Amino acid sequence: MTTQTYTVSGMTCEHCVAAVTEEVRALEGVTGVQVDLAAEGSSRVQVTSETALDLEAVRAAVDEAGYELTGTAG
């Protein structure tokens, strides 16, 4: 198992959290998604997966939900 934290901009409410969670959880190998919503800035999205995820796959999933992946942390 591996855990990676991403920063996502544009999320402002629980609907945003649900949309990002749904798209990221659909990636192969993802076992959990936890979002720390920061409505006035960049939210933290912690993803647990069986193996390390491809950054571009995560970026595409966040984009599909309508938001922007702005970085990674740990």
pLDDT tens digit sequence for 6-19? 999 999 999 999 99
Domain residues for the domain of 55 are 2-73
- What is the tally of structural domains in the chain? 1
Across the chain, what does the average pLDDT equal? 95
Model pLDDT, residue 74: 57
Sign of the alpha-carbon dihedral angle for 25, 74, 43, 57:
negative
pLDDT band at 39 (very low <50, low <70, confident <90, very high): confident
CATH number, residue 46: 3.30.70.100
- CA 11 – CA 27 distance, rounded (Å): 20
Structure confidence by residue, pLDDT tens digits, 40-65: 889 999 999 999 999 999 999 999 99
Structure confidence by residue, pLDDT tens digits, 24-33: 999 999 999 9
